[in-house]
Every structure is written in structure tokens, then in C-alpha cells.
Amino acid sequence: ANFSEQVVESFPSDISTGIYYGWACVGNGDVHKMVLSIGWNPFYKNIKKSVETHIIHTFKEDFYGEILSIVIVGYIRPEKNFDSLEALISAIQGDIEEAKRQLDLPEHLKLKEDNFFHLPEGKIVNNH
């Protein structure tokens, strides 16, 4: 789940590029573990900064146009380039496993239940 350029530009400029972990919620759905990449994705030679969310959950259908709410809990590693797609995939799999371990800690698990994720019905967020 990638954030739009407008959302990326609104992120605080002092957030370091790299890989983070936290919680994500689509619309008013369940809250799931996630891994977040902030940066230029050097392997793909992006010229624009991006914020890409990998929700650790299998969804039954696409959720384009839905509100994506995230809470960044911690930092895993800096952004870096890879020699091959296989090395990138291996690093992503390691990031996912690290996120799962960290988010199972009691101090991180409690954030899953935060009221931030429970939008009142009919609430308009950012004109949507």
C-alpha cells in the first residue's frame, strides 16, 4: 500500500529514510502488523521519495481508495541498495520477521488497540 506523493510530502522532513515497523489499518477494518519503507528504493532507482506500507496480512480484495492509517513504532534498518532481486526479497523477508518479533512485545502490542485506529462512522478525514 503506497501513499500518494501528497501524503509523502506531508511526512515530517526529519524522518530518516529506512525500514520501520508498526501497525496499519485499512478503513475501519482490523489492525495488522506492518513494515514500512521510507525513501528512494535505490534498487529500483526511484527519483521521488516514497512511503510504501507492507501490511502483514492477506486481504481478500483490493482496497484502492480506502483510508490507510498507520502508527510507526520502531526502526529496523537504513535504506540500502541490493545486488540482486533475490537479495532484496531476502532482506524484506528478514524485515517482516523482525517486525513480527518486535510487535509481539507487550509494549508494542498494546498500541494495536489505540483509539487512533477506530474512526467514528461517517467521519471525514482529509476531505475523504
CATH classification of the domain holding 98: 2.40.30.30
Q: In degrees, to the nearest 5, what angle opens at C-alpha 107 toward C-alphas 29 and 121?
A: 25
17 in any annotated domain: yes
Annotated catalytic, 9? no
- Report the pLDDT value the prediction gives residue 127, as an integer from 0 to 100: 45
**Residue ranges in the chain modelled with pLDDT below 50:** 126-128
125 in any annotated domain: no
112 in any annotated domain: yes
- Report the pLDDT value the prediction gives residue 42, as an integer from 0 to 100: 66
Q: Which domain holds residue 42?
A: 5-117
Residue 123 in grid coordinates? 467521519
60 in any annotated domain: yes
Paired strand residues for 57: none
- Report the pLDDT value the prediction gives residue 78, as an integer from 0 to 100: 94
128 in any annotated domain: no
Using alpha carbons, select from 9, 2, 53 the residue that is nearest to residue 32: 53
For 15-36, b/e burial (b = at least 16 CB within 10 A) is: eebebbbbbbbbeeeebbbbbb
- Report the pLDDT value the prediction gives residue 128, as an integer from 0 to 100: 45
82 in any annotated domain: yes
- Report the pLDDT value the prediction gives residue 27, as an integer from 0 to 100: 86
Which residue in the list 52, 66, 79, 98 is annotated as catalytic?
A: 52
User: Torsion-angle region of residue 55: left (phi > 0), alpha (psi -120 to 50) or beta?
Assistant: beta
Number of domains in the chain: 1
